[in-house]
Amino acid sequence: MVDIELLKKVVEAPGVSGYEFMGIRDVVIEELKPVVDEIKVDKLGNVIAHKKGNGPKVMIAAHMDKIGVMVNHIDKEGYLHVVPVGGVDPRTLVAQRIRFFTEKGERYGIVGHIPPHLQKPEDRKKAADWDTVVVDVGADSKEEAEEMGFRVGTIGEFAPAFTRLNENRIATPYLDDRVCLYTMIEAAKAIENHEADIYFVASVQEEVGLRGARVASYAIDPEIGIAMDVTFAKQVGDKGKIVPKLGGGPVMDVGPNINPKVRAFADEVAKKYEIPLQVEASPRPTGTDANIMQINREGVATAVLSVPIRYMHSQVETADLRDIDLTIKLAKHLLEELRPMDLTP
């Protein structure tokens, strides 16, 4: 069963790329420390938790950074102008609340919206872009905004809005990738007997270029690398291109980024424990930490384990609790069952 309280805590802890120290890092350390042998934070801020074993060295990574915004200008009327950190669609920000982390504590801002009454007919068809997204923090002047603690470089993220849709579905900002981070934490807690030498990594700066996983995998030098990241679930407007569906269970990719031996092993484990496993084709290197892990040093046998979600990179990312539960089980069993094996594709 999914621990909703912990999931919510993990989802809501602050930590835009590069600023994971603002909250999520301590949550991860607090949760993982009791169940691992060693835990450390590296120079980029990755949390690396080591659960020792004599078997194959495996790195399992879920990124703890979030997409967000950064203030790049405060104008004389007190409005904040922001730039994206990671892939934020400016259209998702209109008429939304943003939670900022200022020198004087947490502050909210809102992105204004031009009332339909005042819009010209041709403007109604235009999408918001970064020039039109302006944040109102309640200040009437630059000085007042600065007095409130805002400055160039202040970090903001989507305001928390954890919503239970029904028995099985939740919607909230930042399931990417906190739902997988939560899943990895639960798997770490659930593991009993294992041979594998396991490194749990809560990686930083994935959203700005897989940077945390790059340095963590260099330091760890694993044989096997598993990225836990969200993937797309069937949704409106997907033109039938998306195969995995909400409630269908965890998803694992196939493609050049995936070692076929590790993937076949995952199939066996899923079958043994009767966990439905969905497949997704990834003809290119994936947009996950597995991309950079695969080309670490002399090469790593990589795979991706995903919780499917709808509406990725929005405030209403939606997941199914049954998928989360099954993904925890699959991650636990994969790590428990791992034995030395030939990893040649």
* Footprint of other proteins (CB under 8 A): 223, 239-241, 243, 254-260, 279-281, 283-285, 294-301, 343-345
Nearest distance from C-beta of residue 249 to other proteins, angstroms: 14
Q: Which two tokens stand for residue 216?
A: 């963590």
Which CB atom, from 154 or from 257, has the smaller least distance to other proteins?
257
Which CB atom, from 183 or from 296, has the smaller least distance to other proteins?
296
- Alpha carbons 210 and 7: distance in angstroms, whole number: 23
Are 159 and 303 within 8 A, CB to CB? Answer: no
Residue 205's Cβ-count burial label (10 Å; 0-12, 13-18, 19+) is buried
Residue 109 bridge partners (DSSP): 98
177 preceded by a cis bond (ω within 30 of 0): yes
Which CB atom, from 193 or from 344, has the smaller least distance to other proteins?
344
Nearest distance from C-beta of residue 297 to other proteins, angstroms: 5
**Maximum pairwise Cα distance, the chain:** 68
Q: Of 264, 266, 261, which is closest to residue 345 (Cα–Cα)?
A: 261
Nearest distance from C-beta of residue 245 to other proteins, angstroms: 12
Q: Is 77 known to be catalytic?
A: no
Those residues with Cβ within 8 angstroms of residue 103's Cβ, 6 or more apart along the chain or in another chain: 149, 151, 154
Sign, CA dihedral 340-33-210-179, equals: positive
Nearest distance from C-beta of residue 106 to other proteins, angstroms: 41
Which CB atom, from 109 or from 222, has the smaller least distance to other proteins?
222
Q: Which two tokens stand for residue 57?
A: 């060295």
In degrees, rounded to 5, the angle at the alpha carbon of residue 138 between the alpha carbons of residues 134 and 140 is 90
Nearest distance from C-beta of residue 300 to other proteins, angstroms: 7
Q: Which of 12, 31, 206, 280 is catalytic?
A: 206
Which CB atom, from 134 or from 343, has the smaller least distance to other proteins?
343
Active site residues: 206
